[in-house]
Amino acid sequence: MSSMWKKTAGAALLLTLLSGCHRQIVTQTTVSTSGPIRVVFIPKNSGNPYFDAVNTGFKKASGQLGFKYTQLAPATAEATNQIPIIQQQIQNGVNAIAISPNSTDALAPVLKQAMQKGVTVITVDADMTGSESSRNACVLPTDFSQVGSSQIELMGSLMGYQGKFAILSATTDAPNQNFWIAGMKQALKNPKYSKMTLVGIVYGNDDPQKSLLEAQSLLTRYPDLKGILAPTSVGLAAAAQAVESARDAGRVQVTGLGTPNQMRRYVTDGTVKEFALWDPSAMGDLAGTLAYLMAKKSVQPAPGVHFQVPSGGSYQFGPNNVLSTGPLLTFSKSNIGSYHF
Amino acid sequence: MKSSHSIFWRNEYTLAALTVLALLAGSRLSSHFLDAGYLLGTTTLYVETGIMALLMTAIIICGHIDLSVASTLALTAAATGVLHAQYAVPFWLACCLGMLLAGMLGALNGVLIVGMNLPSLTVTLGTMALYRGAAQILIGDHSVGGFPAWFCGVDQVYAGPFPVTLLLLLAGGCAMALFLQRTTLGRCIYAIGNNKTASRLSGLRVGAVEALLFTLSGLAAGMCGLLMASRLSVARFDMASGKELDVITAVVLGGTDIFGGKGGVAGTLLALCLLALLRTGMGLADIPSEKQQIVVGALLIGAIALPRLAELARKQYMKRQKPAAAG
Amino acid sequence: MTLKKPLFQEAGVTGFLIITLVLAAFWAPGFYAPGNLRTLLLDTPLTLTVALGMTCVMICRQIDLSVGSSMAVSGMAAGMLLRAHPGMPLAAAFLAGAGVGVLLGGLNGLLVAGAGVPSIIATLGTLSIYRGLVFLMSNGVQINANDLPERLVQLSLASRYGLSWLGVFALVFLALLHLFLTRFRGGRTLYAVGGNPEAARLAGIRVERWIAFSFLLSGLLSGIAGVMYASRFSIVNPGETGKGFELSVIAATVIGGTQISGGYGTAAGTALGCVLMSVIANLLTVAKLSGRWQLAAYGAIILAGISSQVLMARVGKQQRS
């Protein structure tokens, strides 16, 4: 027994010394060139209603253009959980990977591997900021530079452009959230909003329980609070729930970004008058179409290039090959009935 | 509460058979499965789990458990990253300090468990939250990167067809097996797991051995933290979150008795291999992660429950046979 | 069969609670705002309901890691029923949740007591199995506020004195469990089973049955808590609901004086532990430290809880000798 172990260990050691270590260089292309084009979408996590809507859009594009589409979600939104899925899909010879990255830095190496093997990689909903070279193109839901100012306008119009309000965000380091919050702070410098005071920014980690706790704490900490602005769907629902529980609906205005399905009740019962979001299914549709056409080599993204969608509509690639899907939609009691995502 | 498995059927045989079955199933599920290069490449995802599982095997044999390994991994990586990125400590020194910290985290577990005579399950449940919480306090939701180029991408380094990290795991496995089987200290671990009081009465320094094991476990987890940081080229507080379950699953599936005294490294490594093959096969077949969770959970329970049920049934049968033979 | 029974088992957790409340006065005066105290009362019932079940399991020298996932299964089941039949009586929804919980707890009990799988392994397995089950049954689609009837949400809204119906439920469970553990033979038997299983077996107690019973109870309470979750948060998400809940429940139970090594613990202690956990979570929020500090605080509480028990026991021993 002992000698066997020693031999094995010796052999392993010898092998290491003999062969010398080297970094693996990827050269061969594994992407299948025959058969239908295969596209996978990897959302941040499964069971997330927002990505269900994005998935609908992908399915629609797949039905119209005739490519094979699969959605594969990691169980939880941790940075590393998407890595095995990406590797498996590379091995499966998928033609295009669309991904909503959970972490830019942690995913960059494996996405680069995918690109080296000839897989088309596009990011959806959020970009690989700082590592743009690890994806071919990016589809964002809307022009992010406008989100901050339009959210402030929405909040302002609801609270009569005066009084105290607070922001309920996701995590302290969520790139999209921080970008939008910076936009909001910028917009607040406009004299139009001079009577509005941002009293604080709190973070609910996109966890329903935590977000509710934070929203309740805002209500008790600032008895004269006029508004809560939550640019995240979990936070927005939690803020509405907190205001409803505290029976504060008249006093505190709640708005932000959320899906109609999650907000329907609060809009119907008057807790929330208006809130906004882009159309996630349109984003899925656009991303699916782009992934398919790029995998077919019909589209070569480059800044300034126009991208003609077969079903109609034209988009222009911005800097870093970013496409933005469409405008923000505002939902209220009058129109929420016609949206189902 | 110790029930013995059947003597003539070693647990490793079952695992080997299951591994072959998993290989067959995998090749049935996906035509891309049987690709030696790819399968060897995927092992790099499981190396950290494996190295932690080696120490966990010893700890469980000793009658304890360490739930804090994955959190120690994250805190070590986070601390190393912060030292290098924020305090401009030279990277090699940051790594050494990180390992020192890992050893101290392990030792703290040991001190609480041995010094205060507390159950390891609750202590390490507490430190599991505390250590990951500390990593979160350090870096929040940020990714800390900026490691030197030589450090990044250890999983891409190959020796011939084998990833070096896999060889590292195998070498670690051999060392651990030799330690447990061939050294006096290794045998002491089994003795302590079998009967702590008897071990103490026969003059073994039980507390010292236990504290040493927890410290080593911390060090191993710390090393895995550096390996994972190298693989991802960043450190994050949520690294390897929930991996302690995978580690324990591998050890227990590998036939190590959760109540201590029995088990070995070979089973752990085989079980890890089985888990990796199953995950890879199901992933290639586009089976959603939630269903994969169910399969792994059922496998864990089944691997423990089935032999025990078989043993119970055998005892029942023998009971019924005895009076018949006597009469 | 010795029943360890010091004079005042809840001394440790009471001490911690008092210290925390005093510190709060200096550190975060906003904590004592009436509105804040009221939210505190809204946060405790959920943890308390599940922790009461955990107390029984731990008194029996076992552990149940699957409570968070069980809660999600039952919450999802009740939510789906209510979505399909909006007019359904709430009692039926709670009954359904409780029934699902009993089934899940029953499976845990069967595995542990029947098949002899150590509880940490069995419930570690069912933790992931039950979580997978939520996804299978719901197809990954969450229950939204709009799918739940107003009446259910009303249960979690506070009356003027800060007490919600959920709070009343939790208090009733607390009272029942307290009576059961202190006044009934069955309760005493649980302590005997956990304190010394071999002795209990020799004394003619059917140890396995009582262990199975404790898991059944834990499942039942987690099941009810699942429906309470739907009421409190107005959503049931297949991935988020109950995720990591086992950690805060175990923390509350352990700091409440229940020992993982069995045979020791009270319902009142657990209740105080739950209040302490809520106070600390609330304090962190009021002190604006919430995001990053909560997990570390939970860890520190568990460690403080178990080490203070040991220290107090040592002091007690010295005084006696």
- Say yes or no: B123 contacts chain C, CB-CB below 8 A: yes
Residues of B in contact with A108 (CB under 8 A): 233
Q: Is the pLDDT of residue C321 over 70?
A: no
Q: Is the pLDDT of residue C224 over 60?
A: yes
DSSP string, C225-280: HHHHHHHHHS-B-TTTTTTTHHHHHHHHHHHTT--TTSS---HHHHHHHHHHHHHH
- Contact check, Cβ <8 Å, A15/B162: yes
pLDDT per residue as tens digits for the range C165-175: 999 999 999 99
- Higher pLDDT among residues C57 and C294, named by residue: C57
Stretch A251-260: mean pLDDT, rounded? 94
Residues of B in contact with C118 (CB under 8 A): 1, 258-259, 304
User: What CATH architecture is A38-142+280-326?
Assistant: 3-Layer(aba) Sandwich (3.40)
Stretch A241-260: mean pLDDT, rounded? 88
Would you call B148 exposed, middle or buried from its count of C-beta atoms within 10 A (0-12, 13-18, 19+)? exposed
- In eight-state DSSP terms, residue A73 is -
Kindly state the percentage of chain A with pLDDT values over 90.
69
Residues of C in contact with A215 (CB under 8 A): none
CB nearest C129 (choices: B118, B259, B298): B298
Instruction: Please report the pLDDT score of residue C1 as a whole number.
Output: 39
CA distance C290 to chain A (A): 8
Stretch C62-66: mean pLDDT, rounded? 95
Listed by number, the residues of chain A in 193-222 with a beta carbon closer than 8 Å to a beta carbon of chain C are: 200, 202-203, 205, 207-210, 212-214, 216-217, 219-221
- A142 and A179 Cβ atoms separated by less than 8 Å: no
Alpha-carbon span C88 to C270, nearest angstrom: 34
Please state the φ and ψ torsions of residue C123, each to the nearest 5 degrees.
-80, -25
Q: Is the pLDDT of residue C289 over 80?
A: no
- Higher pLDDT among residues B264 and C314, named by residue: B264
Alpha-carbon span B264 to B255, nearest angstrom: 8
The pair of three-digit structure tokens given for residue B241, joined into one six-digit string? 């979150």
Alpha-carbon span A107 to A90, nearest angstrom: 14
Which of B286, B287, B290, B294 to mutate to probe the A interface, most A CBs <10 Å?
B286
| Domain assignment present for B76 | yes
- C81 and C230 Cβ atoms separated by less than 8 Å: no
Instruction: Please report the pLDDT score of residue B70 as a whole number.
Output: 97
- Contact check, Cβ <8 Å, C142/A49: yes
- A85 and A78 Cβ atoms separated by less than 8 Å: no
- A68 and A37 Cβ atoms separated by less than 8 Å: yes
Instruction: Please report the pLDDT score of residue A102 as a whole number.
Output: 87
Q: Which residues are within 8 A (CB) of C4 and not within 5 positions of it... i.e. 6 or more apart?
A: C195, C263, C264
Q: How many CA atoms lie within 13 A of C23 on its CB side?
A: 13
CB nearest A72 (choices: B158, B177, B286): B286
A332: β partners: A274
pLDDT per residue as tens digits for the range A80-135: 889 999 999 999 999 999 999 988 888 998 999 999 999 999 999 999 888 899 99
Q: Is the pLDDT of residue B87 over 80?
A: yes
Lowest-pLDDT choice from A119-133, A254-268, B61-75, C146-160:
C146-160
Same CATH fold, A144-277 and A38-142+280-326? yes
Cβ atoms < 10 Å from Cβ of C188: 15
Please state the φ and ψ torsions of residue A131, each to the nearest 5 degrees.
-125, 50
Query: What torsion do the CA atoms of C63, C67, C73, C74 make, to the nearest 10 degrees?
Result: 110
A168: β partners: A202
Residues of B in contact with C251 (CB under 8 A): 126, 129
- Say yes or no: A125 contacts chain C, CB-CB below 8 A: no
| Domain assignment present for B2 | no
Residue B1 banded pLDDT, cuts 50, 70, 90: very low
- Contact check, Cβ <8 Å, C254/B123: no
Q: Is the pLDDT of residue B14 over 60?
A: yes
pLDDT per residue as tens digits for the range C9-49: 688 888 889 988 998 888 777 788 877 777 777 779 999 99
Kindly state the percentage of chain B with pLDDT values over 90.
73
- In eight-state DSSP terms, residue A167 is E
- Contact check, Cβ <8 Å, A262/C144: yes
| Domain assignment present for B6 | no
Instruction: Please report the pLDDT score of residue A84 as a whole number.
Output: 93
Query: How is chain A split into domains, by residue range?
Result: 38-142+280-326, 144-277
CA distance A303 to chain C (A): 37
Residue C104 banded pLDDT, cuts 50, 70, 90: very high
**Rounded CA Rg of chain C:** 19
Alpha-carbon span B225 to B147, nearest angstrom: 14
| Domain assignment present for B185 | yes
Stretch B221-233: mean pLDDT, rounded? 95
Stretch A240-247: mean pLDDT, rounded? 87
- CATH code for the domain of B131: 1.10.3470
Instruction: Please report the pLDDT score of residue C305 as a whole number.
Output: 82
Instruction: Please report the pLDDT score of residue A112 as a whole number.
Output: 93
- A105 and B265 Cβ atoms separated by less than 8 Å: no
- Contact check, Cβ <8 Å, C128/B305: no
Stretch A177-204: mean pLDDT, rounded? 94
Residues of B in contact with C140 (CB under 8 A): 290
- Say yes or no: C260 contacts chain B, CB-CB below 8 A: yes
Residues of C in contact with B297 (CB under 8 A): 124-129, 132
Domain limits for position B297? 11-326
Number of separate domains in chain B: 1
Per CATH, which fold does A144-277 belong to? Rossmann fold (3.40.50)
Residue C4 banded pLDDT, cuts 50, 70, 90: very low
3-state helix, strand, coil in chain A (%, to 5): 45, 20, 35
- Contact check, Cβ <8 Å, A109/B232: yes
